[in-house]
Each structure stands twice: as structure tokens, then as C-alpha cells.
Amino acid sequence: MSKRAAIVTDDGGGPFQALPPGLHHDLRPFFSDITEEVVRAIRTEIPEYARPADGTYMQAVHRGVDHALRGLLERMADPDTDWEPVQATYQRIGRGEAEEGRSLDSFQSALRLGARMTWRRVNALVDAGLLPRNVLGAFGEALFLHLDEMAAATTAGYTEARLHAAGELQQRRTRLLDLLTADPPASAEAITELAHSARWPVPRAMAVVTVDLGAPAAPPTAGGPAAPSWGGEPGMPPTGTGQAPVQPGSGPATTSPADGPPLGRTRVTAPPGTGAAPPPSGPGAVAPPPERGPVPPSPGAWPTARPPTSPPGRVPIVPPEFLARFDVRPAVIVVPDPEGSGRARDVAGALQGLRAAMGPTVPLQEGARSLRWACEALELIRRGVLPDTELVHCQDHLATLLLLRDDDLVDALVERRLRPLEQVRPPQRERLAETLLSWLSCGHNASEVAVRLAVHAQTVRYRMRQLDELFGGQLHDPAAQFEMQLALRARQLRKDSTMPADRRAPL
């Protein structure tokens, strides 16, 4: 069905053909008075048109009424009169109402009021014997057909203008989102100017949420381990106890394979002079992963344009103050003042269980950083490193984001500091790595390590003698100890993730 409102037409003249010849001549002398009565009634009964101090506006109302009644007389005189110019006039009126930000309620009320006043006056002329009574039926049908066609033409113009305005507004909001997440950042003046034209109240701060459309967050497995956390992050149990880390804010949801291609590696930069960030395309895009296979890491990833063949996912319904793009993968939502009252509820209501990550709260000119962190966190969720809860906040996983931002760098660190563990068999290697990480974390206190690992203190001391033989002076070098701890924690995260086996734990 066309978006343009249907125009009522009367191909054969209809009721106008049934009017007695010469009736328009009989009515013409009275139409000036009818015009004045209709204008007075409109000013009196419709508040929108009651502007006695605005002479220009009232002249426009008077011209509109006069045009409508003269058009009626012309059709009465010649039923075959071309309707197109009149139709175009009322379509322009409809567009004008839309551009002024008004609804059509007042205008259509004015049309109905004008028709009633005209009908009432013609009835009075019949009662006074100035017109024959047998004209009333045909005249009434012609009058209300004329009214219907004017209303339909006005609605068509109004609808067309509203659709055009809505499309322009959405384009401005899309450009604004790109501007807010551009790298290098746009100026504050450019952001404010575009926000005003996009009818977006400028907030004090913002955060970016990236969403896997069509990929609900996974429910927690009963009795099974969750994705690990480490290094002072909330919910980390003692190493070696077998307890799953408790992640704040996790809750039940449904699960399905991720929808759409993974994040591309091409960084989006702003074209010169615009500050806007177009979606990347071409060789930088990464091919979609297999349905249940691991997703390769893509550090520093940014959203890529959604291919036309991608299966449609469920699109969140966001509040009007949010900015969103669902034509990129992952989808991007800008949340204004994310720390404000009710914002967490608004975000949760929009996501409805979809897998998502929220970047840090940043000033408006640092949106690229929030987007970058959110993309990296979403990638870690896909790999199983971060918990697959409904919404992961980057601020709760800063250490993990820092440590796993560059897999090649982690590989180099593991190779440099943990190579001595290659000298022992895998089962013993795991026990020694677990003991070394606990010893480094507990300040070299064997008794505390024993409690954490639920083993005897003598067992800890025996393992530490083995580690001393393997690592030698490195165990007493503060710089080496720090790097060993980082490497061991990265190794632990990789071991429990869904990343390819050759990248999980090099040792």
C-alpha cells in the first residue's frame, strides 16, 4: 500500500453532474457573505486559528476559505473542471502544516466547520424561497464530496512531508552517532550543532553499547563453571578451589549462536572536515564465523557494515533519547548520561536479553574510546573470556580488557616468562602453574597458598622447590615476578575460553 494518502476522485462528475444548470449563478452572490461567516466561525470555535493580532495569518485563513468555496462554485459550473491544481494546493497546505509541527486536527476541524456553515446557509436560502428545495440533496452530496477530496489531498501532503522529515531526522541522528564516535574526535561545536538539528538534547556524558543482534545472552549452567575473572575483579574465588567466579548482575536468559559477522579489523576514521565515521568496507571486513565455532579475536575492532545477506536479528526498541545504528555489526547504541536515574532500566528494557557490552562513561568528545572498549568486550564475550550475561560493563573487567587486548603481545609474554614450564609433563605443569600464580598473588606466603589451593603446606613447599629449580633467579626478581603473574593470569583466561586451542595456553 502506498504511503501517500489515497485521494478520493469522482471520474464521472457524480453529484456535480446532477446539480441543476445555473445553480452556481444563483449561489455566487451569497458566497462572499458565506466566506465571512465561515472565517468568523473558525476564529471563534477553533483555538488554533484564533490569532486576532496576527493579520497576516488571518488573511491566509480568509484566502483558504475563499479558495475552497470558489473551487466548489467552479466545479458546480463545470463538473469536468481540472481538479489537479486544487488538489496540489491542498497538498501544499498539508505539507505546510507538517513543517510547522502541527497536527491536521485543527485544519480538518476547520474544513468540517466550513462545510456545516455553508450547508446551513444554503438551507436558509431554500427556506427563504431564494433557491428551490429540490437542489438540497444534490448540493449536499457535492459539498461533502468536495470536502472529502480537500481533506484527502491535505492528508496526502501532510503524510508525505512527515515521512520526509522523519527520514531526514533519522539521517541526522545517524550522522550524529557517527560524529560522537569518530576518531579523531569532532569539535564540541560541531556535536552541539548537529545534536540541535537532530533534536537530541546534549547530555553531559555518554556511553556506547554494542549489541549482537539475534544472539541472546547464555543462561548460567547449573552446577557448571562460569567464565573466569581474575586479578582483584569482583567475584574471583581462591585459585584452585574449583569454584566458579561469581559475576555481578548475571541472570537467566536464552541462548543461540551469534548472528552476523564478527567485528572487522578496519578502524573507522573520519573523512577530512566532517568528523563523521563511515562504516568500513572492503578488505578490512572479516568473514563470518561457523555457526558454533570459535570467533577469532579482533582487538581494536569497530562495527562493520551489515551485509545484505545477513539474517535479520531482533532489533531493540530504544527510548527516543538514545541514538542507535542497527545497520552495522555489532549494532551500536549511544546512551546519554548513563549514570542518570532510570538509565539502567532503560538499557535493560531495550536489550531484552540480547548479548551486549557497555563501554565506559565518557565526555561527548571521547565516544570513540567507549565504542572501542565495548567492541573489545563484546569480542571477549564471544570468546568465552567474559561472562555471557545480558549486559557486560567494561568498567567491571578493566584488567581483563587490558591484558587480552593484544594476543600476540600476550603470546610473547608467556613465551618469555613461562618457557621453563615446558620442561615438565602437562599434568604437573598445570599444578606448578597454579601454585606459582597463587604464590605470587599471596605475597610468597606458603601457608596462605596451601589454604587457597586446599593442599598441605608441605606440598606447596615441595612444588616451590621444583619451581625454584626451573626458574632460578627469576623467582626473586620483582620485574620478572610481575610479568610472570600477568602471563599466568592470561594463560588461565585463555585456557577457560572458547578461543582456538592453539592460542589458549601456549604452555
For 308-396, strand residue ranges (E) read 323-325, 328-329, 331-336, 354-358, 391-393
pLDDT given at position 324: 94
Full-model pTM: 0.52
Q: If pLDDT is split at 50, 70 and 90, which confidence band does 190 have?
A: very high
Mean pLDDT of 112-132: 86
pLDDT given at position 169: 84
Cβ 24 vs Cβ 75: under 8 Å: no
pLDDT given at position 51: 66
Question: Among 255-264, 334-343, 370-379, 457-466, where is mean pLDDT lowest?
Answer: 255-264
Alpha-carbon distances, residue 198 vs 92, 162, 202 (angstroms): 24, 15, 10
Q: What percent of the chain has pLDDT over 90?
A: 19
Residues 310 and 260: their CA atoms lie apart, in Å, by 6
Residue 299, preceding peptide bond in cis (omega within 30° of 0): no
pLDDT given at position 311: 39
Mean pLDDT of 336-346: 92
pLDDT given at position 92: 86
Cβ 225 vs Cβ 196: under 8 Å: no
Mean pLDDT of 265-292: 37
Q: Report the interhelical angle of 136-180 vs 188-197 (nearest 10°).
A: 160
Q: If pLDDT is split at 50, 70 and 90, which confidence band does 191 have?
A: very high
**What average pLDDT does the structure give for the chain?**
75
Mean pLDDT of 109-119: 87
Mean pLDDT of 430-440: 87
Q: What is the pLDDT of residues 205-234, one digit of tens each?
A: 999 999 998 767 665 444 333 333 333 333
Mean pLDDT of 369-379: 95
pLDDT given at position 241: 34
Q: Is the pLDDT of residue 42 over 70?
A: yes
Q: If pLDDT is split at 50, 70 and 90, which confidence band does 303 have?
A: low
Mean pLDDT of 170-176: 91
Q: Is the pLDDT of residue 3 over 50?
A: no
